Structure 1
């Protein structure tokens, strides 16, 4: 059976951070009312309402990134949901190792290619947004209803590109900044060095893998961050693939959940790299029928599906990039920098 086509909407949000959050909330309100708040994932996260780390997380957010606090307040207002619940949802991977966020990235010296895998209940409800804050560089990001931008894939005005993969870290020993707060903050930086310094300079709670690159540079970076460390591998010649579990030597002691899907996508991706397969062919691969790279099954073992694929060429003065609906060979969007072309 062929799945129904998945579309990606477009949002242009600008103004103060509260105004941007309000626009994001209004954009995602219907999908959150119809799906998110009735989902098992929402119930699992809301069960952490009395977690002792929550006041510390809120305090760290207010101390370090009050402008993101304003975005979250606007987001909750636009969604029509309780601010505490929206904050908690945006801390989901810090509190619950099995939050439904997956993804696979192929990293090359001047290119980042990425499958965005998430909750199948959001198929057709996700989109792209051009975000134009009054006090920070504009950017274009993939969006999930109910979530801050920045934890998926994005390109900003400085030519900085970031892709994000889930790492299912088990509960941290101490509170730090939520990982989705940190990745939102990265979109206000201008270089990979600034992005990595930001991660190193702040306490962290959850874990993520990032592909990081910039236009005109000859390298990209594979970055894993957790409470314990921020680790960096430079991609100069040989391409790399990264599913959604920690791989770097510096993270080998990290308690994490490695699902069958993530382990097999990692192994399959590395095999396809050895066969010199093109990045998009790797990300569209379904030869492992049980645990494919492109995940479209209603019975996916992690309860995740591919919702979009991004291919970001950083070799020129501006990023040239395309975003595809799952399985499509013609892009839904093409960009020169932040301008749709």
Structure 2
């Protein structure tokens, strides 16, 4: 069987320990962010101080892995210096790329010689024309595609651009315009794109009500399950609602994305990199998922069949979906 082009495996790290675990488990590249509102996973106890980022990049480079620094929120008016400093520090520490979404920040970063620019999924660039504008205007070298595209749509985009594409293959599944969730902002007062917090745990509540366990986000009841049944994390896009005569999950079920079986099709569609979601997750999660997907990437590159996924226990509700890759909800 003919060998295939090897895909880059891009893995999450919410802490320095997770970065080391991802590298040791076989990640080709790590994405992570500073411990402030410049990145879209701005939660207590996560992310990197400046010293930790410098040390993490050096560790990864010693093990032939890359570090991509996510500076992917949108700067607040009057506070642009916080974001520009993050770009400068990532560049100074030797980051292999910065992941950006804001136009002004992209323009600023484009003026830093030698700094590679990746377009964040938060920019929601989902067609070839939009991607080409970012490439021509700012020199963007890679775009992280939103999780709303089929494999056929990704292939069509790749035929018309001269930019690398990166797609999500495992973890949380966002079915909104990435990071722009007005539902989460309405329920919690925290914006995914401005504050870096989608459905923050500080606004989540689980409460027993009779024989049921009710989960709430910002005071809104999102799920009601049996007291002994698995309770999914309460995000509004995966909530259960009554709409007319229908009661159930309107946008998407509370399940996780697992596209391991689609790696050959994604490679054929021209994808360069596969991205795992999960910067809030534990080191054990990081190690298990990275090992599984590194084995899958290596098998595909060698022309071997990809083994069935063994990660269901690490998924939301212990169930998985191919999401928009096999789109049924649009």
Richer in strand (by share)? 1
TM-score of the pair, normalised by structure 2 = 0.28
Greater helix share, structure number: 2
TM-score by length of 1: 0.27
